[in-house]
Structure 1
Amino acid sequence: MKDRILGKYIAKNHTGNVFTDNELQVIRQGNTDKMVETFLHMGNDYYNTQMQCTINSLGMFMDGDIELDHIDFERTYRGEFIGCQIMDGDIDVFLGIAGNDKELLKVASTFAQEDIKEFDADAYDALCEFINVINGAYATKLGENDVEVTLHPPVFYKNTEVTAEDGFYVVTFNMENNLFKILMAADNKIQLSA
């Protein structure tokens, strides 16, 4: 599942027509962490680890056909609906999930393994838990490297703008023709405004 999440993205975005021996070995092994380090070219180790935790969580907890569509580096993003969680401590971390109602209900339903038709308590709980899973994995990895952070409860906003002077990643995933975005900022302060 996890290598399928990355497979089409790598094929579509690989520069040049030929893979090096090292790249072929990484693909054969199917190790998500190595695939992220080798092919996604995230800005630093914090972002590599954050992306690894995101891909691993999607592969482990989401029973659906999910593919990484594209990665953008932005200073501003406006979303119809954004669920997010902040971690602070040795570094500031932000992780958000964004999309319209249909897209995020698909994510919530897939994660909860039940058909959720409207944004009710079940939908919010599923999205909160999805965010917690990713950030919990990330906080654990950071702790293994002696970077201590505290997770704050997830919060939700409608029609919100996210900004960061240093920029942040907006990662678009396609799940059965529903595009949703994961917003990632690591060692970076984020501002939210209506």
Structure 2
Amino acid sequence: MFDRMLGYYLVEQGRLTGEQIDQVYDKQAKSRARLGVIAVAEKLMSIPQAEQINSLQATHDKYFGDLAIEMGYLTPEQVTKLLSEQGNEFMAFSQAIVDLGFMSLDEIAGLSQEYANKYGLMESEIDALKCNDFSRIVPIFTKDADEKTVKLLTIAVKNVYRLIDQHVTIGQLEKKETVSGECVGYQKTIGRDLLCNSISGSYTDLQKMAMSYTKEEFIETREDALDALCEFINCTNGIYATQESTDGEMIDLEPPIYITHFANIKAPVVYSLPVYCSDATVYINISDAGKTEIG
């Protein structure tokens, strides 16, 4: 995540042009493959096995390597080896800048510290951002939210990373009474926790997110785009319900609903998290299901 955050900052500060940062991202992408791709290339897994793990990630809050071990496809030693071959995303970003002759590693380190100072980030928080440790990242941006909201948002951001865009970034959580969107998809939980999880934004941006999620080149109708995002919301809520339900206190899900026209999400408190993915900006919103009105 920090590669994109610092990349935006470098362009904003005039240290790199938009064309240069695109060259950096392109070179970075070519040097860092997905773990499943490497496993198949190394003949440690078959293509169907890798695809099965990718599908499981839609309903399990686990990394590719952890699921591959559980399924018996890889050993812990093999996963460690594959991770070392894959490399660190931020290191690949830094190396691309150096290889293209845009900056030295010392300059990148200095600008990273400048960014941390400007936004009040501690060394441990920068480390979490560089490692894509979402369990540590999301709390940095959601300090005013309650524990349940942070847990659900953490699962949501992890799912964006796993299923939509590995270069997702997020902004600071906002606490509102009303969130508006050109289109809205949402789902409410029932039982022990009454939560409303919604995605809002412009149709163009929601369509981009939906196309990345479905891996389709084009989604023609608003209904199809919102239906895909409701499926994403359902995956996120399903993981939350599975993790949080106990024998005595169950959490269930109402059917997801979408609104293809302008709508407002109203509640005494709506926590709204900006999410930047697939060249789009959308908002993941969490509120009390029993006190939320959408329309």
Same fold (TM over 0.5): yes
1:19 paired residue number: 122
TM-superposed CA distance for 1:186, in Å, is: 4.9
1:177–1:61 distance in 2 versus 1, CA, 3 Å: closer
TM-superposed CA distance for 1:15, in Å, is: 5.0
Name structure 1 gaps, 5 residues minimum: none
1:92 aligns with 2:194: yes
Residue in structure 2 matching 1:74, options 166, 176, 180: 176
One-letter amino acid matched to 1:95 = N
TM-superposed CA distance for 1:140, in Å, is: 1.8
TM-superposed CA distance for 1:122, in Å, is: 3.9
Quote the Cα distance in structure 1 between the aligned partners of 2:173 and 2:159.
Answer: 18
Task: Give a deviation string over 1:10-64, Cα, whole Å, max 9, x none.
Answer: x579753x625x5466456642112223453142210110111111111111135
Residue in structure 2 matching 1:181, options 268, 272, 283: 283
CA RMSD of aligned residues (A): 3.0
SS in 2 for 1:164: strand
Asked if the contact 2:198–2:285 (Cα under 8 Å) also holds between the matched residues in 1, the reply is yes
State how 1:30-41 maps to structure 2 within 5 Å: 30-41=132-143
2:240 paired residue number: 138
TM-superposed CA distance for 1:136, in Å, is: 1.2
Asked if the contact 1:84–1:95 (Cα under 8 Å) also holds between the matched residues in 2, the reply is yes
| Greater shift in the superposed pair: 91-100 or 29-38 | 29-38
Asked if the contact 2:188–2:289 (Cα under 8 Å) also holds between the matched residues in 1, the reply is no
Report sequence identity in percent. Answer: 22
| Greater shift in the superposed pair: 69-78 or 117-126 | 117-126
Quote the Cα distance in structure 2 between the aligned partners of 1:186 and 1:32.
Answer: 24
Displacement over 2 Å in runs of 4+: 3-9, 11-16, 22-31, 34-40, 63-66, 120-125, 144-148, 186-189
One-letter amino acid matched to 2:270 = F
2:266 paired residue number: 163
2:250 paired residue number: 148
1:128 paired residue number: 230
Quote the Cα distance in structure 2 between the aligned partners of 1:189 and 1:71.
Answer: 20
| TM-score (normalizing by structure 2) | 0.55
Residue in structure 2 matching 1:54, options 152, 156, 163: 156
Asked if the contact 2:172–2:274 (Cα under 8 Å) also holds between the matched residues in 1, the reply is yes
Structure with higher RCO (Cα < 8 A, 6+ apart): 1
Name structure 2 gaps, 5 residues minimum: 9-114
**Number of residue pairs matched?**
187
1:121–1:80 distance in 2 versus 1, CA, 3 Å: closer
Quote the Cα distance in structure 1 between the aligned partners of 2:127 and 2:119.
Answer: 17
TM-superposed CA distance for 1:189, in Å, is: 2.4
Asked if the contact 1:46–1:186 (Cα under 8 Å) also holds between the matched residues in 2, the reply is no
Structure ranking higher in strand proportion? 1
Quote the Cα distance in structure 2 between the aligned partners of 1:176 and 1:29.
Answer: 20
Asked if the contact 2:116–2:126 (Cα under 8 Å) also holds between the matched residues in 1, the reply is no
Largest Rg, 1 or 2 = 2
TM-superposed CA distance for 1:86, in Å, is: 0.7
